[in-house]
Structure 1
Amino acid sequence: MRCITVTCFATQTSRNVAPSPAAVKQAIHWMLSLRERGNDPSLAQQCERWRNAAPEHELAWQRVMRLHQDLDLRAIPGAGVALQTLETSQRRLHRRQALKLLGGVALVGSASWLARDLQSVSAWASDYATATGERRSLRLPDGSLLQLNTRSAVDLAFTEQQRLVRLKQGELMLSCSETADPGRPLLVQSRDALVEGFAGRFVVRQDEDCTRVSVTAGKVAVHQPGGELQWIGNGQDWRVDASGARRLEQVAMDAAAWSEGLIVTRDMRLADFLTQVSRYRHGYLACDEDIADLRLSGVFRLEDPEQLLQLLPQTLPVQLRQRTRWWIRLERLS
């Protein structure tokens, strides 16, 4: 990709002005296009004209490129692999998917500049988002309380016809306002379903292969593709995917405990537990196959994932093998 000269106004405004999500999306689009098409003078000129069209465009470009350069220099553990994946994937993925992949790259590391300045590309491109290990609460315009778990992002679309929360990634808890507004349904849209909330509280989590819906108070209605409607009552946990919705009779983890800073497990597989803990920390975390099915039950605090991991050898026959603060693997105790 051809290097293009930085204009002066970006230096003057970059410290005090944040680019809009739309400008960031455009900058990422230009970066992916230039990387895909290589040395294309015509495309480079078009990109330069876009950058010169507004100070905000140049600011968005510089911040996206700074993210790319820092990753390319491997300032963040695992960045090289993530960038290689981005290089090979962008040629066959839709631009929207490539944007999500780049957002994932931003979550890999723990360098201070990332947490302080960028957090993630998803945060730029969403109305509200959380970084790794962060939880956030906010009051919606209708009085409902929205809580976001780690690595989560949502967009809001409140109109005269509906109150819509789009879950783009991660997990949310929504406590519906007791003030009913039947003319404007309160909806949470995930990749797999549309969840309609009433007076009560529920959790929606978007996994790679499904959406999980858990109701802790009241009830919700799940609208699935094809017009099917499924009611979910208090205390129920459901899985929704392309094949439909089904109730989960046994759940190994309290779906709402994260809102209080906890992981509460009931006879949970060690490998599944580590997958959940890894959502709250940077870097690599896994275990050997011969201990993956070990079970644990308990209440674990999320405020310090590293200290949490140190507790595991006290309750299970395992030991931690740690290469760096970002790379931890559990092995059977020898």
Structure 2
Amino acid sequence: MRSTTATCCATKTNTDVAPSSQAVKQAIQWMLRLRESGNDPVLSEQCERWRLATPEHELAWQRVTHLHRELDLRAVPGASVAMQTLEASQRRLHRRQALKLLGGVALVGTAAWLGKDLDSVSSWTSDYATATGERRGIRLPDGSLMQLNTRSAVDLAFTGQQRLVRLRQGELMLTCRGDQPLQVQTRDALFESVEGRFTLYQQGDCTQLGVSQGKVAIHHPGLGEVQWIDSGQDWRVDARGAQRLERLDMDAMAWSDGLIVTRDMRLADFLAQVSRYRQGYLSCSDAVADLRLSGVYRLEDPEQLLHLLPQTLPVRLRERTRWWIRLEHAA
């Protein structure tokens, strides 16, 4: 009965009060997490406690779930797609009414709705995430330092029995503290260290590990036994197993200092790295793809970085817009 009363009160004040953008975002996160978990009872109870914590939480929940029903949203792949869905549904739900349902913030755009330019639902529903070009440092509950590179997302599971970080996408660097193992789960394997410092980069078909301090263990079914990696080593781990990388054309740790440090790196591979830190299209012609470059490049301004390349390589920038750049051979 109490739950029914709360719902009725929230419905009554929907047209007069608007929840904050933060409350709306949290409500959307709860909705997606419940759906992904198959309405797990423990998660449902946590969501219920969140709703009862403040009237604003309950109001945000009612508005998000109401709009979900009205627009029949089966998934929320991003603000742009949500806006397209909203536009297509104007005959069933007036635009002004829909915007009111989310307090005027949820579907206006990524800046107002999420506050960050994140790349997927998995990013903005994670415990910590970074936008394109963003790097972020987080102090973990055990005192360890975690740094997230651009377009990265992680979840934390810290209990009395384990310290676990789940890398959902992107790249992180961990400096471990404490006397218990700190574990990182990626799509390909489980990594573990006690006092190590290492990076993990989850790519499309593998996870790349770089160890700069201490030792890191790789737990992988294909290895048969735990593989311990020493400081100064780099490894590639995929579904089949693990392989040591003898020579890298880029410093795996430099991004934490805001740098790309290359060693005889192909231009095409270099541009693929730079594209991680900027929006839009970036490529090069086959004629210049195999040109090599070595140096130290700052990530704080990718556009300026690109405009410096013609000073050291026989290339020119073809720019249709600031979002579309292609490098070609200089005439």
Using the size of structure 1 for normalisation, the TM-score is 0.72
Q: 1:221 aligns with which of 217, 234, 254?
A: 217
1:309 Cα deviation from its structure 2 partner? 0.3
1:333 and 1:113, CA in 2 relative to 1: closer, same or farther beyond 3 A? Answer: farther
RMSD: 2.8
Matches within 5 A, 1:57-72: 58-59=63-64, 64=76, 67-70=80-83
Equivalent residue for 1:19?
A: 26
CA pair 312-333 structure 1, distance change in 2 beyond 3 A = same
Q: 2:110–2:117: 8 Å Cα contact kept in structure 1?
A: no
Task: Tell me how many residue pairs correspond in the alignment.
Answer: 266
SS of 1:9's equivalent in the other structure is: coil
Deviation at 1:22, TM superposition (A): 2.7
CA distance, structure 2, for counterparts of residue 165 and residue 276 of structure 1? 24
Equivalent-residue separation in structure 2 for 1:133 and 1:153 (angstroms): 13
Secondary structure of the structure 2 residue equivalent to 1:250 = coil
1:304 aligns with 2:301: yes
How high is the sequence identity, in percent, across the aligned residues? Answer: 60
Q: Is the 8 A contact 2:116 2:131 kept in 1?
A: no
Closer, same or farther: CA 117–289 of 1 in aligned 2, 3 Å: closer
Q: Kindly state the Cα deviation for residue 180 of structure 1 after the two structures are TM-superposed.
A: 1.2
Cα distance per residue 1:197-250 (max 9 Å; x no partner): 121200000000100000011110111124432111111100001121111001
The corresponding residue for 1:44 is none
- CA offsets per residue over residues 239-296 of structure 1, 9 Å max, x none? 0011211110010000000000000000001010000000000011011112111100
What are the superposed Cα offsets for residues 37-58 of structure 1, whole Å, 9 maximum, x if unpaired? xxxxxxxxxxxxxxxx974253
Aligned match of 2:94: none
In the TM superposition, structure 1's runs of 4+ consecutive aligned residues that sit over 3 Å from their partners are: 24-29, 60-67, 69-74, 110-115, 117-120
Matched position secondary structure for 2:277: coil
Match of residue 194, structure 2, among 190, 195, 198: 198
The aligned residue for residue 325 of structure 2 is: 328
Closer, same or farther: CA 221–327 of 1 in aligned 2, 3 Å: same
Gaps of 5+ in 2: 1-10, 38-57, 88-108
Q: Which moved more, 1:258-267 or 1:53-62?
A: 53-62
In 2, Cα distance between equivalents of 1:165 and 1:57: 32
Q: 1:312 is paired with a residue of what secondary structure?
A: helix
Instruction: Return 5+ residue gaps in structure 1 as ranges.
Output: 1-6, 30-52, 75-109
1:11-53 per-residue CA deviation (whole Å, 9 max, x = no partner) reads 7225452324231456899xxxxxxxxxxxxxxxxxxxxxxx9
Match of 2:235 in 1: 238
Equivalent pair of 2:234/2:246 in contact (CA under 8 Å): yes
State the structure with more CA Rg: 2
Taking structure 1 as reference, are residues 313 and 171 closer, same or farther at Cα in structure 2, changes over 3 Å only?
Answer: same
Distance in 2 (alpha carbons) for counterparts of 1:118 and 1:56: 23
Q: Could you tell me which of 252, 267, 283 is aligned with 2:264?
A: 267
